[in-house]
């Protein structure tokens, strides 16, 4: 029996290059999806994730090309490599989707998120909150005698860290935009 000259599980030359199809560990991926800015397009994307049981960790969307009516959706999702491949393929077949980029595997990228934190308190806690905000380069965008609203931009991890520090100092409300991301370089 002459062995076949292909090894199972190799698809190096395929259009769909699964790195390790059998890996079970979940990975976090940031996907950038360019879509026609038409009615219902966000519902299609969200419906795909809920209908097929995929995770959405964060999702941001806004029109980025006014003349061309194109929006960019940035989705942060987690799943096994096989699930991530499926998500990309499923996104790719939505008719108003132009491009799907997996920023996590396509090379280095930058991710930023903006958040607003409302922190209430007086005395030493209030001073400490302001001091930490300075360290994190957060801006004060609203202030009363008993509260601040901080604006902070950074990676999700930085925002998480800032939120943890603010919690004992009187954090009472926060709003986050979700991740916006771009590939580095040209």
Partner 1 sequence: MTQPMTGAKMVVQALKDQGVDVIFGYPGGAVLPIYDELYQQTDIQHILVRHEQGAVHAAEGYARSTGKPGVVLVTSGPGATNAVTGITDALMDSIPLVVLSGQVPTFLIGNDAFQEADTVGITRPCTKHNWLVKDPDKLAETIHQGFHVATSGRPGPVLIDIPKDVQFAEGTYVGPVKAGHGHYHPKVKGDRETITRLVEAMETAERPIFYTGGGVINSGDAATQLLRELVEATGFPITSTLMGLGAYPASGKNWLGMLGMHGLYEANLAMHDCDLMICVGARFDDRITGRVADFSPNSIKAHIDIDASSINKTIHVDLPIIGDVAHVLEDLLRIWKSRGRKVNKEALKPWWAQIDEWKTVDCLRYTPSAQTIKPQYALQRLEALTRHRKDRFICTEVGQHQMWAAQFLGFEAPNHWMTSGGLGTMGYGMPASVGVQVAHPEALVINVAGEGSWLMNMQEMGTAVQYRLPVKQFILNNERLGMVRQWQSLLHGGRYSHSWSEALPDFVKLAEAFGAKGIQCSDPADLDDAIAEMLAYDGPVIFDCLVEKHENCFPMIPSGRAHNDMLLGDADTEGAIGTKGAVLV
Do 174 and 99 form a contact (C-beta atoms < 8 A)? Answer: no
Other CB atoms within 10 Å distance of the CB of residue 49: 17
Q: Which of 64, 65, 92, 142 binds partner 1 (CB under 8 A)?
A: 92
86 near partner 1, judged by CB under 8 A: yes
| Segment interacting with partner 1, rule: CB under 8 A, options 4-12, 111-119, 123-131, 133-141 | 4-12
Taking CB under 8 A as the rule, does residue 14 contact partner 1?
Answer: yes
- Identified binder of partner 1 from the candidate list 25, 67, 95, 145, rule CB under 8 A: 95
The C-alpha atoms of residue 104 and residue 74 are separated, in whole angstroms, by: 12
Is 15 an interacting residue with respect to partner 1 (CB under 8 A)?
Answer: yes
Residues 32-51 that bind partner 1 (CB under 8 A): 39-40, 43-44, 47, 51
21 belongs to the binding site for partner 1 (CB under 8 A): yes
Which residues of this chain interact with partner 1, rule CB under 8 A?
1-2, 4-11, 13-16, 18, 21-22, 39-40, 43-44, 47, 51, 82, 85-86, 89-90, 92-96, 98
């Amino acid at each position: 029996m002459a062995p076949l000259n292909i090894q199972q599980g190799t698809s190096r030359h395929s259009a769909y290059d699964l790195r390790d199809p059998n890996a079970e560990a979940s990975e976090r991926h940031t996907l950038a999806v360019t879509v026609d800015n038409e009615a219902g397009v966000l519902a299609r994307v969200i419906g795909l994730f809920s209908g097929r049981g995929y995770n959405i960790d964060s999702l941001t969307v806004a029109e980025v090309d006014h003349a061309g009516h194109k929006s960019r959706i940035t989705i942060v999702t987690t799943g096994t490599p096989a699930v991530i491949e499926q998500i990309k393929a499923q996104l790719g077949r939505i008719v108003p989707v132009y491009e799907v980029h997996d920023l996590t595997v396509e090379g280095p990228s930058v991710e930023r998120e903006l958040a607003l934190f409302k922190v209430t308190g007086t005395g030493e806690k209030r001073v400490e909150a302001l001091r930490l905000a300075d360290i994190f380069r957060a801006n004060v965008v609203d202030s009363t005698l008993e509260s601040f609203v901080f604006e902070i931009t950074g990676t999700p991890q930085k925002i998480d860290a800032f939120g943890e520090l603010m919690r004992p100092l009187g954090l009472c409300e926060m709003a986050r935009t979700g991740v916006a991301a771009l590939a580095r370089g040209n």
